[in-house]
Amino acid sequence: MPTNTAIGTLVPASNGNGHKPAEGTRLAEASVQQIYAELLTRIGEDPMRDGLLSTPRRMEKSMAFLTHGYSQTVEEVLHDALFDVDYDEMVIVKDIEFYSLCEHHLLPFYGRAHIAYVPNGKVVGLSKIPRIVDVFARRLQVQERLTQQIAQAIDQAIHPQGVGVVLEAQHLCMMMRGVEKQESATVTSAMLGAFKTQSQTRTEFLTLVRPTR
């Protein structure tokens, strides 16, 4: 496909019959780096200036990392880290840092996840719980769905008596644009099984993950 620079900025070139190719066709034929170079051009930048020469390549690499959850599954992450254990008290992993991208503006939101479950004969290797969080966080997301997906993944993996998930996050789409409220935070929760039906279990979980002042 014709380009006007070595970096590959898209140009509305003729398709050989005197007509310009449709936008969809141009995008389908373009590389990811060409598309990023085009975006830089359209916001008024010059992708050929010194500071931006490698930016499309870096953008491609960065986006691949930030969305690598699409290439992962919970089953692959858990592997053999499920153990038979005679233990039926609450297991909590709290303050799990996570980073994600808002699917509405592709701006980051980030925060901490608090996860608990009551085993029913099986437990998950502790390091796997943060990895489950990343499987879903490293995708385009909304916080509400992310919370539910984490809870459902643990529930389906070990069929515990119950699962509780609380996410606390700050959203740059609210902080950098829109209402521009830098101190705002969003809290979401998902309660399954005993955490949903037993108020004592739910209260114990919420009390234990409450920040210590």
73-100 per-position pLDDT tens digit: 999 999 889 999 999 999 999 999 999 9
pLDDT band at 21 (very low <50, low <70, confident <90, very high): low
Q: Please indicate, yes or no, whether residues 62 and 84 belong to a single structural domain of this protein.
A: no
The structure tokens 């966080």 sit at 137
Q: Please indicate, yes or no, whether residues 114 and 171 belong to a single structural domain of this protein.
A: yes
Residue 194's domain spans which residues?
80-208
Q: Answer yes or no: is pLDDT of 107 > 80.
A: yes
Q: What is the pLDDT of residue 1?
A: 36
User: What percent of the chain lies above the pLDDT cut of 90?
Assistant: 77
Answer for the pair 193, 163: CB distance below 8 angstroms, yes or no.
Answer: yes
Q: Please indicate, yes or no, whether residues 195 and 136 belong to a single structural domain of this protein.
A: yes
Say how many domains are in the chain.
2
CATH number, domain containing residue 109: 3.30.1130.10
Catalytic positions, written as ranges: 102-105, 143, 171, 173
Q: What is the pLDDT of residue 80?
A: 86
Mean pLDDT of the chain: 89
115-146 per-position pLDDT tens digit: 999 999 999 999 999 999 999 999 999 999 99
23-27, 28-32, 197-201: range with lowest mean pLDDT: 23-27
Q: Please indicate, yes or no, whether residues 32 and 98 belong to a single structural domain of this protein.
A: no
Is position 71 within any domain?
Answer: no
Q: Answer yes or no: is pLDDT of 6 > 50.
A: no
Global pTM reads: 0.85
Answer for the pair 8, 38: CB distance below 8 angstroms, yes or no.
Answer: no
Q: What is the pLDDT of residue 137?
A: 98
